[in-house]
Structure 1
Amino acid sequence: MRHETVDLIFNAAIEVFAESGFDQAKMDDIARAAGVAKGTIYYHFRSKEELFVGLMNEGVQKLIDRARQYLKLHKSPTDQLLALVENQIHFYVQNGKLAKLLLNEAFGTKTRQVQFRRKIGEYLQLIEEVMIEGNRLGEFQIKHVPETASAIFGAASVVVLQKLYSMEEVDPARIERDIPPMVETVRRMVLCGIKDSTYC
């Protein structure tokens, strides 16, 4: 079982990185926000870069774990794919600061890029497996599975980030109200791309 201190550090790091950005964030500030000594952070992470990569992997793993739970609730590939879209949008809304960090800061250093692509690749693999099964069953007509999976991931990501960035200050009640139209928009785009024109 992971030490509870790591959760404290991750939660504090999200706040500090979100407020200051990766380059300006200081380990002293993260330690203060976590209520631990700076040496405690270095006991678990050798550097700020390693802390960020760990935080990034943790965030994407949470998305993957939730996606797997959503997949179990549905049998048909169509319903599974639409559930993945809904899950991703809900996850980003509920973890807005983490979502911004993942998609803004993950393309910094080469280490971050490699780690981000590898972890996101695990999530994209889930989408691709649903598509392959949908093609096999005749539910989908997808010619380029990896590209389509990336397009769906990107659409669900950008629609939430655009909403978050359009607000000077995030209003939780407002963004909760905006979830259904965001989900419906991306779901319709997905159906237009994988089925015939009657879904458009």
Structure 2
Amino acid sequence: MRHEKVDMIFQAAVEVFAESGFDQAKMDDIAQVAGVAKGTIYYHFKSKEEMFIGLMNEGMQKLIDCARRNVDLHESPTEQLKALIASHVQFFVQNSKLAKLLINEAFGTKERQRQFRLKVRDYLGLIEAVLIRGMECGEFFISQPQEVANSIFGSASFVVLQKIYSLDELTEQEIEEASPVMISTLHQILLGSITKSSQY
């Protein structure tokens, strides 16, 4: 079982990285926000870079786990894909600082890019598996499930991130209240393009 202090460090790191950016963030600040000694951070992570990669992998894994739980609640691939899209939007809204952090900083170093691509590939694999099941049972009409999975990930991410980046103009509550509209729009556009009916 992972040490609870790692969770505290990750939560503090999200706050500090989101506030200062990766380059300007200091381990001292992360330690202070986490309420631990700086030596405790270095016990778990060799460097700020290693910590960020761990945080990035943790965030992406939580997104994957959330999506998988929602997919597993349904039998129909259409309902599974609708649930996956909804969980994607809700996860980004509920973890807005982490979502912005991933987009802003995940492409910094080559190792960061490699790790991020690996985690995204895992998530795309989940989307693609739902699409293939839909193709096999005649619910989805597509020829390139891998490309469609990429499009779903990109579209859902962009729609919700556009709202998140409007935090200066909108409150967190207003963004959360906009979630059903974002989800409904994505259902209509994404599912409507791969099924016979667009009534979603």
Measure, in 2, the Cα distance between the counterparts of 1:169 and 1:102. Answer: 22
Q: Give the corresponding residue for 2:27.
A: 27
Measure, in 1, the Cα distance between the counterparts of 2:15 and 2:198. Answer: 45
Q: Give the corresponding residue for 1:167.
A: 167
Indicate conservation of the 8 Å contact 2:92/2:160, yes or no. Answer: yes
Deviation, structure 1 residue 180: 0.7
Q: Give the corresponding residue for 2:193.
A: 193
Of the structure 1 ranges 148-157 and 161-170, higher mean CA displacement relative to structure 2 is found in 161-170
Deviation, structure 1 residue 68: 1.4
Measure, in 2, the Cα distance between the counterparts of 1:186 and 1:80. Answer: 14
SS in 1 for 2:157: helix
Deviation track 1:13-37 (CA, whole Å, cap 9, x = no partner) reads 0000000111111111111111111
Matched, 1:89 2:98: no
Q: Give the corresponding residue for 2:108.
A: 108
Measure, in 1, the Cα distance between the counterparts of 2:64 and 2:166. Answer: 27
Measure, in 2, the Cα distance between the counterparts of 1:180 and 1:90. Answer: 9
Deviation track 1:16-74 (CA, whole Å, cap 9, x = no partner) reads 00001111111111111111111111110111110000000101111111111101111
Q: TM-score, normalization: structure 1?
A: 0.96
Q: Give the corresponding residue for 2:147.
A: 147
Q: Give the corresponding residue for 2:126.
A: 126
Q: TM-score, normalization: structure 2?
A: 0.96
Q: Give the corresponding residue for 1:137.
A: 137
Indicate conservation of the 8 Å contact 2:188/2:198, yes or no. Answer: no
Q: What is the letter of the counterpart of residue 187 of structure 1?
A: H
Q: Give the corresponding residue for 1:181.
A: 181
SS in 1 for 2:22: helix
Measure, in 2, the Cα distance between the counterparts of 1:21 and 1:169. Answer: 21
Deviation, structure 1 residue 191: 1.3
What is the alpha-carbon root mean square deviation over aligned residues? 1.3
Q: Judging changes above 3 Å, is the alpha-carbon distance between structure 1 residues 153 and 198 closer, same or farther for their aligned structure 2 residues?
A: closer
- What pairs up with 1:73-88 in 2 under 5 angstroms? 73-88=73-88
Percent of matched pairs sharing the same residue: 62
Structure 2: stretches of 5+ with no match in the other structure: none
Q: What is the letter of the counterpart of residue 32 of structure 1?
A: Q
Measure, in 2, the Cα distance between the counterparts of 1:142 and 1:66. Answer: 25
What count of residue pairs does the alignment treat as equivalent?
A: 200
Structure 1: stretches of 5+ with no match in the other structure: none
Q: Which structure has greater helix proportion?
A: 1
Q: Give the corresponding residue for 1:56.
A: 56
SS in 2 for 1:46: coil
Deviation, structure 1 residue 146: 1.1
Deviation track 1:162-185 (CA, whole Å, cap 9, x = no partner) reads 111123165122112100110011
Indicate conservation of the 8 Å contact 2:191/2:198, yes or no. Answer: no
Deviation track 1:139-159 (CA, whole Å, cap 9, x = no partner) reads 111111111111111111111
Q: What is the letter of the counterpart of residue 138 of structure 1?
A: G
